[in-house]
Amino acid sequence: IPNSDELAAQNRAAGQTPGRRPQVTETIVREKPKIGRNERVTIKNILSGESKTIKYKQAEPLIDKGEWVLIDQE
């Protein structure tokens, strides 16, 4: 049974395993800028052609249903 000093040495050795590389974090590259939830966007109804300017958080469910599409704002 190892004493506390030996156990601590074993734990330190286990934490210093050679060959372990630091994690590389990939940067996300977006084609279009991210739309914030409170930003105002213009959406258009596919069937009627009606356009609305509302906050993105309110437009998300309509866009997800497929009845409305987001109009590019440039």
Where do the domains of the chain lie? 33-74
Alpha-helical runs (H) found in the chain: 4-15, 56-65
- The pTM of the full predicted model, rounded to 2 decimals, is 0.56
What would the pLDDT profile of 18-74 be if each residue is shown by its tens digit? 556 677 888 888 887 888 999 999 999 999 999 999 999 999 999 999 999 999 764
Catalogue the long-range contacts made by 7-10 (C-beta closer than 8 Å, 24 or more residues apart).
Answer: none
